[in-house]
Structure 1
Amino acid sequence: MCSATATTPLFSTDHHLPKSFTRLCKPFHSRVPTSLTFHSTPPTFVVRATVLKWRCPKQTLPPNSDTGFGKKALYLESIGIDPFSLIENHPMLITASLNDIKSTVEYITTMDFSAIEFRRMVGMCPAILTTKVSDLIPVFTFLHREVRVSGSNIKHVINRRPRLIICNVDKQLRPTMYFLQSIGIEEVYKHTDLLSCSVEDKFMPRIEYFENIGFSRSDVTSMFRRFPQLFCYSIKNNYEPKYNYFVVEMGRDLKEVKEFPQYFSFSLENRIKPRHKRCVEMGVCFPLPLLLKTSEVTFQNRLEAFVSSSTPLKTSPLWRAGRDIGQV
């Protein structure tokens, strides 16, 4: 029989929701052992406070940390999680309640996440283990009701971005959703990985960067609306070097970036530079989509075809015609 925690309703009953969100699968202990089996006398599991202090020197340990953490460590190891590797990145695990941890594990796994998926989620975001079930329920409710994530897609969304389930709905997720909608991104469910990002710390600096290099606010909004993944790229390691190469080496018009913001998604060293140099050597200038989106074979074939047919250079009045052909 599933525990009381495992059968906690994911949503209130005032709405008809997909069965995939409300049904409970097999209890976690039926898929992952909750105890260790030894063929001989079981070893004594003792974790000294001095050892914990050495691994996490900044963590203040409670008086009962020897026995308390030992039980948690034994439980986590029984479900395939190395507690010591997690402590270094998430010291709160030391003082977290074992009952709360078990409740969280059971709650998530009864939503049809496999043991392997759960271990991967914890590896990517250890804070999941110390997040109470009462804080998890509003997140899943929000994703379904407000973001419109379907029941069949919820696992994909969480597996892709585990950090989502430790975010506060009112302070983080909902404000970010409103911001994305305000710039015209209506289908937020297609970009759920952005919901855990900070509007002030991540989104606005990127918008301001493009404004500072000459784009209007409307142009920038259009770029991010057409390609929301722009929010994920580093200004220093992505925007700056690719923008400098585009302007200085390629000598192209910024309007092309406005029309094709996906330019920033391609590798500068492995795609942009080598293809641009080959075009320069051949004396042709492809539009950005044809230059970067096509496969290597297609690009080479197009390059040879355009050269053999005397494709006009960018400085030629006929270059627009070649541009149109390249986009077909």
Structure 2
Amino acid sequence: MITKLHLHPPLPSLSSSLNPTKTSQQPPPPGLLFRQKLLHLQTLNVNPHKVLNQNPDFRSTPLASLISLEDYFLSLGLSRPALGRILDMHPKLLTSNIHSDLQPIIQFLLHEVLIPSGDLPKSITRCPRLLVTDVETQLRPAFKFLKELGLVGTRRINCQTTLLLVSSVERTLKPKIEFLKSLGFSDEAVENMVIRSPGLLTFSVENNLVPKVEFFVEEMNGDLEEIKKFPQYFSFSLEKKIKPRYRVLVEHGLKLPLSKMLTVSDGEFDARLIEMRLRLAERKR
């Protein structure tokens, strides 16, 4: 008599149950990867809602690309908090290509504008728009214009001058130059004024330069030669400093050159005013 054998399926080996093969592992669900990207943005203090509204392409950007971008910026010397502020200000950067979008800008700043590598983080932090501005259509033409003025190229560029690289030559820079020339200043005089006070090229003609010239000429009866010697005049507030200080001087029958009237602190100005009043009183005795 033949006995039937009851066959059972073989038991899995202990090694296979403890060490499942890689092919059996499932990739993380897309929703989880998306949340990881948003959480990473939050660690940088970047507003995820703002990013998704202003740069929808970020939805499809891998987390690895975001981390590579962060590593690249940190390698330039930017701090993580500074990087967070820059990315929050310009979410477009989050989908930038390092090689085609960012490196040409950095190479231009270092090798054409000649910004010292140690100053690069400060320049970028002060003017993040540099990172989203095209080299060929904007940065290089502005640099050429500023070089012709003598502002860059022959001396070490500073952070304030770097701001001018993102300014339109036709809409922003040239109108300031033309306005100063319209006051009767020669080309050389205007160039010297701009070199001494580069901020002149950032001020609005209508809202800054014109009102201050009108006040200086019409109320102060000033000689424009004084502005030529002290172009920093335009950097002071008309309502908060120029008018109040001038009118105090007039009230007491006193007068000061623009530089001495504006460059001192309120306390120093008051002390100078008292001293001048005492001298005036002694002369009248």
- The TM-score by the shorter chain falls in which range? 0.7 to 0.9
Q: Mark the CA change 1:179 to 1:307 in structure 2 (over 3 Å): closer, same or farther.
A: same
**Counterpart of 2:92 in structure 1: which amino acid?**
A
Distance 1:169 1:187 in 2: 21
- Are 1:223 and 2:223 matched, yes or no? no
Deviations 1:216-235 (CA, angstroms, capped at 9, x unpaired): 33332221122111111122
Q: 2:155 aligns with which of 182, 187, 190?
A: 187
**Counterpart of 2:257 in structure 1: which amino acid?**
P
* 2:98 counterpart residue number: 133
* 2:208 counterpart residue number: 238
Q: Mark the CA change 1:92 to 1:251 in structure 2 (over 3 Å): closer, same or farther.
A: farther
**Bigger-Rg structure (1/2):** 2
Contact 2:58 2:95 in 1 (8 A): no
* 1:287 counterpart residue number: 257
- Are 1:80 and 2:12 matched, yes or no? no
How many Å apart are 1:289 and its aligned residue?
0.2
Aligned-partner SS, 1:310: helix
Q: Mark the CA change 1:161 to 1:136 in structure 2 (over 3 Å): closer, same or farther.
A: same
* 2:121 counterpart residue number: 155
Q: Mark the CA change 1:111 to 1:225 in structure 2 (over 3 Å): closer, same or farther.
A: closer
Q: Mark the CA change 1:126 to 1:280 in structure 2 (over 3 Å): closer, same or farther.
A: same
Structure 1 residues 158-167 or 71-80, which shifts more? 71-80
* 1:172 counterpart residue number: 138
Q: 1:106 aligns with which of 55, 71, 84?
A: 71
* 1:142 counterpart residue number: 108
5+ residue gaps, structure 1, are: 1-43, 47-66, 312-328
Q: 1:200 aligns with which of 138, 146, 170?
A: 170
5+ residue gaps, structure 2, are: 1-28
Aligned length: 247
Q: Mark the CA change 1:68 to 1:249 in structure 2 (over 3 Å): closer, same or farther.
A: farther
Aligned-partner SS, 1:178: helix
Matches within 5 A, 1:306-321: 306-310=276-280
* 1:97 counterpart residue number: 61
- Are 1:273 and 2:243 matched, yes or no? yes
Q: Mark the CA change 1:250 to 1:103 in structure 2 (over 3 Å): closer, same or farther.
A: same
Q: Mark the CA change 1:115 to 1:255 in structure 2 (over 3 Å): closer, same or farther.
A: same
Distance 1:96 1:207 in 2: 46
Contact 1:122 1:129 in 2 (8 A): yes
Contact 1:131 1:166 in 2 (8 A): no
How many Å apart are 1:72 and its aligned residue?
4.8
- Are 1:298 and 2:268 matched, yes or no? yes
How many Å apart are 1:293 and its aligned residue?
0.3
How many Å apart are 1:75 and its aligned residue?
4.4
Contact 2:261 2:269 in 1 (8 A): yes
Distance 1:276 1:236 in 2: 22
Contact 2:76 2:120 in 1 (8 A): no
RMSD (Å) for aligned C-alpha atoms? 2.7
Task: Using structure 2 for the length normalisation, give the TM-score.
Answer: 0.76
Aligned-partner SS, 1:149: coil
Distance 1:45 1:92 in 2: 16
Q: Mark the CA change 1:80 to 1:284 in structure 2 (over 3 Å): closer, same or farther.
A: closer
Task: Using structure 1 for the length normalisation, give the TM-score.
Answer: 0.67
Larger helix percent: 2
**Counterpart of 2:175 in structure 1: which amino acid?**
P
Report % sequence identity: 35
